[in-house]
Amino acid sequence: MAAETVDLSHAMVTAPVPAGDWLVIAPVAIPIVVGAILLMVRHETRLHASLAIGGLLVTLATNVGLLSRVLADGPQVMTMGRWLPPFGITFAADALGASLALVATLVATVCAIYAQKDIEATGRRYGFYPFMFLMMAGVGGSFLTGDIFNLYVWFEVFVISSFGLLILGSTHRQLDGATKYAILNLVGTTLFLIATAYLYGIFGTLNMADIARKADAMRDTGPMMTLAVLYLLAFGMKAAAFPVNFWLPASYHTPRIVTAALFGGILTKVGVYSLLRVLVMLFPVERAELSGVIAWVAAATMVLGIVGALAQSDLRRVLGFVVISGVGVMLAGLALGTQEGLTGTILYAFHSVLAMTALYLLAGVMNELGGTYSLHDLSGLYRKSPLIAALALLIVLAVAGLPPASGLWPKVLLVRASIDAGLPWLSFAILLTGLLTTIALGKVYILTIWRQKEPAEEGAAAASVPMPGVGYASLIMLAVPVLLLGLYPEPFIRIAETAADGLINSSAYIGAVFPAGGQP
């Protein structure tokens, strides 16, 4: 072969890559392998749950390894196929991506455990677990990739897998919800694609580190504001920010509860992550210009979201609106753009992934105990199970942002940051949202747990109550980190601070991707 006479070091990575660097790609590559195996043994439904839980535990271990490496040595990078960046597709894990990937995998593991009970043999044959793994590959890829077109590809991977999860069961309502979800999400990803094509036309590169270091030189000539607004709209749609959030309440109450838990916990956070990555790291000047708009969007999303939750009588619909409201709180930190605001947003993202998943799984356990999701009929759960009352109290406090649970500290940070930034009305909106969340979920708690129905009605429902041991186990597995985040937040705040710092001062990220550090 003639290639042997060419000096490859100008185009390719020639230094040997130690196996430890594979931690960057493992959280994506392992779910793909396990998902493929699950697809091959689709009809052996007995194997699915153990394979899935095992696969997710391995992925979780690699995530832990990756995060500890990132915290110790800074961003970790691997460029696919030995090509040098920006020509090869780079995976770059910084504290933000690695920690979110870890939290997402953690809740996915809990969901896989819960799904043993929630998804019966038919659902497994129709591919619940393979879809879940491909979705997790997409989510992990989104968090860890360092290439903006690759980010688009991973968005497509998890969006398309989520279609499959959403229609599992093929009831009329599910197809209706899935159609709205599919069309509005495809509009969002198409906008993302258009913005990315435009960006490539301007910059001639798709590598995010490369874009970040070229952005300053482009600012005089390039249509940077247009790009930033396009990305804000596209990712805002995916994150369910206010004027473009209608797909979420239209679809999240239709699938199996464990699917809804996965979606509510993880998917909107991918949108928030992309907003942080693109607007703070790539377009910081434009983000500052847009901060007024983002602040209004954030306030509208959080307040209107929770007002929507107050009006609902179906438990799952309530939760859909609570998810939206949480997105608004996270956008507040994006609007501020300060170190403290972003720390609050990132910490809120950790909390939100855990607490929203826990809230949906709680609804699933309540449904098992009470046989319905309707707040008109669901009642008297304290008598059936005091344990569920205790777990529900903790989770409700977490979501409402009250001590001793996880929601408190991110809100404290965000409120303080918005006062420091001279936006007292934004901190008022955050506090008002907290109050309304307490009312909305307090209402749910009182109705479902404390209220007693007539004894005659009660007897009929109580006869057929199974002991949802798997449900309790999953809830406790999520309640422990939720409580930990509330009682001992320092290490988590430190991780969030590192992540926020990595976004604002992207030189470490750029330096990791381009070790020579030279200008293009």
33 counts as binding another protein under rule CB under 8 A: yes
Q: Which of 22, 87, 163, 200 binds another protein (CB under 8 A)?
A: 22
Residue 285, token pair as written in the block: 């000047």
Nearer to another protein, 17 or 419 (CB): 17
Compute the radius of gyration of the chain from its Cα atoms. 23
Stretch in the footprint of another protein (CB under 8 A) among 20-28, 51-59, 211-219, 292-300: 20-28
What is the smallest separation between the CB atom of 54 and another protein, expressed in angstroms?
16
Nearer to another protein, 41 or 476 (CB): 41
78 counts as binding another protein under rule CB under 8 A: yes
Q: Which of 23, 27, 38, 148 binds another protein (CB under 8 A)?
A: 38
- DSSP SS3 for 222: coil
399 counts as binding another protein under rule CB under 8 A: no
Q: 118 with 57: CB under 8 angstroms? A: no
Dist. CA 329–CA 519, nearest whole Å: 38
Nearer to another protein, 33 or 288 (CB): 33
Q: Which of 6, 8, 40, 121 binds another protein (CB under 8 A)?
A: 40
Output phi, psi for 223, to 5 deg. Answer: -80, 65
Dist. CA 237–CA 267, nearest whole Å: 12
Stretch in the footprint of another protein (CB under 8 A) among 29-37, 256-264, 299-307, 406-414: 29-37
Nearer to another protein, 161 or 427 (CB): 161
- DSSP SS3 for 86: coil
What is the smallest separation between the CB atom of 1 and another protein, expressed in angstroms?
8
42 counts as binding another protein under rule CB under 8 A: yes
Nearer to another protein, 142 or 437 (CB): 142
Stretch in the footprint of another protein (CB under 8 A) among 32-40, 64-72, 112-120, 409-417: 32-40
The one-character DSSP state at 90 is: E
Nearer to another protein, 42 or 180 (CB): 42
Cα Dmax for the chain: 88
Binding mask 115-144 for another protein (x = CB under 8 A): ------------x--x--------------
Stretch in the footprint of another protein (CB under 8 A) among 17-25, 222-230, 277-285, 462-470: 17-25
What is the smallest separation between the CB atom of 11 and another protein, expressed in angstroms?
13
35 counts as binding another protein under rule CB under 8 A: yes
Nearer to another protein, 82 or 173 (CB): 82
Q: 49 with 161: CB under 8 angstroms? A: no
H helix or E strand, kind and range, residue 425: helix 424-445
6 counts as binding another protein under rule CB under 8 A: no
79 counts as binding another protein under rule CB under 8 A: yes
Runs of H (alpha helix) within 276-400? 284-310, 315-336, 339-370, 381-384, 386-400
Neighbours of 456 (CB within 10 A): 7
Q: Which of 8, 11, 17, 446 binds another protein (CB under 8 A)?
A: 17
Nearer to another protein, 164 or 471 (CB): 164
Dist. CA 503–CA 342, nearest whole Å: 9
Which residues ranging from 291 to 350 are in contact with another protein (CB under 8 A)?
none
Dist. CA 49–CA 498, nearest whole Å: 36
Residue 51, token pair as written in the block: 């394979």
Dist. CA 8–CA 458, nearest whole Å: 76
Cα–chain-centroid distance for residue 211?
24
Dist. CA 514–CA 207, nearest whole Å: 11
477 counts as binding another protein under rule CB under 8 A: no
Q: 406 with 483: CB under 8 angstroms? A: yes
Binding mask 43-62 for another protein (x = CB under 8 A): x-------------------
- DSSP SS3 for 95: helix
Dist. CA 376–CA 374, nearest whole Å: 5
Name the site residues for another protein (rule: CB under 8 A).
13, 16-19, 21-22, 25, 29, 32-33, 35-43, 78-82, 88, 127, 130
